[in-house]
Amino acid sequence: MSTCGAEDHVFVCRCEEITKEEIAAAIADGATTVRGIKVRTEAGMGLCQGRGCRKIIQQMLSQSGARPAAEVLPSTTRTPVRTAKISEFINEEDD
């Protein structure tokens, strides 16, 4: 990697404290998808589930030229949309 300035130490994923430098290293390692970044760095796996970092990571991926911007898709989103208490699921009536 080229020289590393202060901006490279900025947290992209604040929940898991993954820096721009670490995301760039994952791209250099061959990641071409948001999920590929997650597997290599664990970015997007924290409390907010990638709401904060997803778009920055998509942008970094498309800028790297690994894939055309239109093909850099967000990773899979799954239940729940917000954190939810376990007891809420247990007490829920049948669908």
Nearest distance, CB of residue 84 and other proteins, angstroms: 6
Site string for other proteins, 34-53 (x = CB under 8 A): -xx-xxx-x--xxx-x----
- Tokens in use for 82? 């917000």
The H or E element that residue 37 is part of is helix 34-41
Question: 32 or 62, CB closer to other proteins?
Answer: 32
Site string for other proteins, 56-75 (x = CB under 8 A): --------------------
**Measured CA distances, 29 to 19, 22, 24, 53 (Å):** 15, 10, 9, 19
